[in-house]
Every structure is written in C-alpha cells, then in structure tokens.
Amino acid sequence: MKPLPTIAFSKPDTPSKGTVILGFSEGGPLGDHARALDEASGGAIERAMAVAEFKGKKKSILEIIAPHGLELDRIYLIGLGGADDRKPSDWRDLGGVCAGFAKSGAVVTVLLESVDKDPVDGADAAAFADGLRLRSYRFDRYKTKPEDEDEPKKDDEKPAKVTIALDDQAQAKKLYKSMAGVSDGVMLARDLVNEPANKLGPAEFADRAKALEKLGVKVDILTEKEMTKLGMRALLGVGQGSVRPSRIAVMTWKGGKAKDKPLAFIGKGVVFDTGGISLKPAGGMEDMKGDMGGAAAVTGLMHALAARKAKVNAIGAIGLVENMPDGNAQRPGDVVESMSGQTIEVINTDAEGRLVLADVLWYIQDKHKPQFMVDLATLTGAIMVALGGHNAGLFSNDDTLSDNLIAAGLAADEPVWRMPLGKDYDKMIDSKIADMKNVGGRWGGAITAAQFLQRFVNGTPWAHLDVAGTAMGSKKTDINESWGSGFGVRLLNQLVADHYE
C-alpha cells in the first residue's frame, strides 16, 4: 500500500526548505513566522493573496510556487474560516484537504500559529494531522502500475514527512497518538471492505480478527462444528451453499474493571452476498463484497480500543458467512431453528444478514450478559431509500443508548438517524407456519428487518445500525477517498470515550 505520511510536531519556526502549509484565519492576519516568510520573499505572500483575493474562507487554497527569495518549493495557504464558524471537527477536514500536498517523499511543514481569538490548541493540531493521514489512505494493493506516468512506481514511493508547528506540542503529541490508533482501526475497516471476496472469505476474515491478539485483544474463533453444537442453524443455513465454511470471531478487550459488565458490538460479516437462491440481479452485484461492512467496523473498533488502551471492557463479535446459490443452498420456504429456540421461515434467501445476526446476538447476550449490544449491518437497501448515504439508520429499544449514539455520531461526524420500532411493524414478520418469517413485505423494509433482530436480543438494551448506505460507495469526503469508508469505527469509539470510560 502507498505509505502514509509520517507526522511530527515541533515548535513554530521559519521553515527553509520543502513545502509549507500556512493556516490562515478568515480576515487574517498572517502569523509571525508566515510574516517572516513574506518579508524574506519581498512580499510574495501578501501580493499573491491580494491578486487571488484570498480571504481565508474555510477550506479555500492558495498555491505559491517557488517563491522568489526563498529556498521553499511551494507555499500553500489554507483558509481556516473565521473563529466563530469553526467547529472542532473542521480541523480533521482541513487536514484532509491538505493531504494532496504531502506527496511521496515531500518534506512538509504546517504552520498553525495562533492567529485569531480561537487559538490553535493541541487538540486542533492533532485532529488536523489525523485528517491528513486518513485522507492519504489508498487501497492500491492490486495495482501494479501507477495511475499517472509521472507518479513514482510503487516500490519507489516514500512517505511524506509532515511536521506540524505549533506552540502547544505536548498536548498535540499525546492526543495524536490516541487518534492515530483509532484511525488505524478506521483504515483496517476500509481495507476489509475494499478487499475482494476471493481474497477475503470467512476464514481469512477470521485470521484478520485473530491478528488483533498482538494488541492484547483475546480472539476466539468458532468453527461450524462448534456452531452446530450451539444450535446456530439460522447462521449456518446462510453459509450452507458456500464451499467456504462459516466462522464467528469473538474479540475481547479488557481495559476496564474486572467486575464491569462488557459492552458488546456485533457485526454482519457476509463476505459476499449473491442473494443465494433468491439471486440478486447482475448489475452492481460486485458491491456485495462489502456486505461485511458491519463486521469490518466492529473489527476496526476493537483495534481502536486496544490501540488507545481504552479503559473499558468490550466484546466484538462478528458472524462471517458467504451467501451462495448451490445444490446444497437453503431454499425459500425452508424453516430453520435458531439458537434461541425460535423458528424462522426463510421466505427470501437474500434477507440473510438478519439470520446471521439472530444467532450472534442471542449467543452474546446469553453468554456474556453485556451492558448493551450495538449491532452494525449492511442490512437493507430500504435504509438507503430512506436516508441516502449521509446517515446510518438507528433502531433501538433504549432511549439512553439511542441518545448517546446520536450525540457520538454528531461529535465524530458519522451521524445516525433514529427510526421507529413498534408492535404493528413487528406483526408484519409473523409467519403462518413458524414463529416468524425473514421478510415483512414491500414497505418499511429497514424497520421490519430491525424488528426481526429485536426478537433475538432478549430484552438486553440494544441498538441496531443499518449501515448499508454509509459503509461503502458513499460520496468521497474530506477524510476519505476510498470506496470502503470505515463508517462506525469513529462513531463507536466516540460513544465509548464519551459515555462508558
């Protein structure tokens, strides 16, 4: 993969070589060291600003190449907007906007001097660095040639060296270390989503989860034999048409007090969803390699919690299966017995995610008695119809958990929107011959899917996040250019940090 830039923090100084990025607050003035550069260049910066009418509007950019009188290659001014309309999360986006200036091998100094009444503190600078690094992520594992002839060959790519100059470096360093651990989790989730299904089956995914042991996470893998013993026939039915056997990975992080009940995070990990016998149409089916976005986020979250040594007990459990049509695949109309004892009539083999989650949710509440369970799943196309790609759907039986998730979503810039649950929706999945059926008809598809899951949480405080619209394929953002977004990692990390540590 393309090497990510290295980040360091230092005292403000007047840089003498490479690329300089100058943060400029709307309306100015230039900071002391920026002014020194301007003077040494005979006023090149002020002049360029006047000619381009650069005022420092948020995320606006002014490029000055080879400024006269200086050894510098380039100066970029980045508009920080005014102090009044700057949110803390803007710093991460501003860093993302500058990622393109940190090319292979470049030496980059970012000058964030305190230039307005909202001084740039360590948290701002750390978020800036974090955004720059997140935006630099590329999934280029399977590219053998650079996209552009002028770009260096893969083996010749060198990381850019980025130094962020500000007064409060100690705080910036400390916060950045923990943010970078979280972002490593985000990038792990992106990697897993971007990886094609021929390279990432249930066993390979389980191996990637197992690799978290090097961070101090305990990882147990359940094989089909063990799942059969536990009676997980809902999950096993989904994987039964695939030559690649199903797995469950249970990741445990113990950073809290021994007596504290764990928080549980559960992910749908359908490594590829053909729809099974209820086969999906060909157009766009390749996107179903990302039907494990929930499991990817849970794995990324466990990485994040362990990397920053979160003071919390947390369990991440992911159901890993492949949904294939086959002579041995399950049929529409089949009835399966779930681990809970409840029976399910499988009307549509393409509504498979809820069958997988049913057994994982039941298993986790039964075995671990968690404080709460939050599941993440690319569960329905219907949630994309309802909310598009900008909010994940939130369904919950608990108002406190729900409010905490909404607040965390806003703080982490991964918003969630609460959707309804209720008796009348629940009735829609009653079956004529079994306890329930796995689809509820044409309308309210995201809600009936959630109602189905609720039948397996056994009264535990629970929230379901339908991330079908947000985990993959969404619009590029200031901090992500890749298809897999890693959605959910920063949200749930924020939830834990703000409410449960």
Count residues near Mn ion (CB under 5 A).
3
CB 367 within 8 A of CB 479: no
Q: Strand order in 313-323's β-sheet?
A: 218-222, 247-254, 313-323, 263-273, 372-377, 462-466, 392-396, 416-418
Q: Which of 269, 272, 267 is nearest to 285 (CA)?
A: 272
Residues 26 and 55: beta-carbon distance below 8 Å: yes
Q: Which of residues 115-144 bind Zn ion (CB under 5 A)?
A: none
Our finding on whether 273 is near Zn ion (CB under 5 A) is yes
In whole angstroms, give the CA distance from residue 134 to residue 57: 23
Report the nearest approach of ligand BES to the CB of residue 350 (Å). Answer: 4
Q: For ligand BES, which residue of 181, 239, 353, 486 counts as binding (CB under 6 A)?
A: 353
Of 23-31, 232-240, 289-297, 417-425: span binding Zn ion (CB under 5 A): 289-297
Which residue's beta carbon is nearest to the bound ligand BES? Answer: 381
Residue 353 near Zn ion by CB under 5 A: yes
Residue 121 lies near ligand BES (rule: CB under 6 A): no
Write the DSSP string, 73-115. SEEEEEEEE-GGG--TTHHHHHHHHTGGGS-TT-EEEEE----
Name the catalytic one among 103, 161, 280, 418.
280
Q: Which of 171, 252, 348, 397 binds ligand BES (CB under 6 A)?
A: 348
Among 13-21, 128-136, 290-298, 444-452, the segment contacting Zn ion (CB under 5 A): 290-298
Closest C-alpha among 270, 195, 188, 210 to residue 486: 188
Residue 154 CA neighbour count, 13 Å, CB half: 12
Residues 318-357 that bind Mn ion (CB under 5 A): 350, 352
Please report whether residue 273 would count as binding Mn ion according to CB under 5 A: yes
Residue 354 bears catalytic tag: yes
Q: How many CA atoms lie within 13 A of 193 on its CB side?
A: 37
Residue 468 near ligand BES by CB under 6 A: yes
Query: In the complex with Zn ion, which residue's Cβ is closer, 25 or 323?
Result: 323
Q: Give the three-state DSSP class for 285.
A: helix
Nearer to ligand BES, 8 or 335 (CB): 335
Q: Which residues face 21 on adjacent strands?
A: 76, 110
Nearer to ligand BES, 262 or 319 (CB): 319
**Residue 233 CB: number of other CB atoms within 10 A?**
21
Based on the residue annotation, tell me whether 311 is a catalytic residue of this protein.
no
Q: What distance in Å separates the CA atoms of residue 113 and residue 29, rounded to the nearest whole number?
A: 11
> Is 79 an interacting residue with respect to ligand BES (CB under 6 A)?
no
Does the footprint of ligand BES cover residue 378 (CB under 6 A)?
A: yes
Q: Give me the residues that bind Mn ion (CB under 5 A), please.
A: 273, 350, 352
Interface positions with ligand BES (CB under 6 A) = 273, 291, 348, 350-353, 378-382, 439, 445, 468
Residues lying near Zn ion in the complex (CB under 5 A): 270, 273, 291, 353
Active site residues: 280, 354
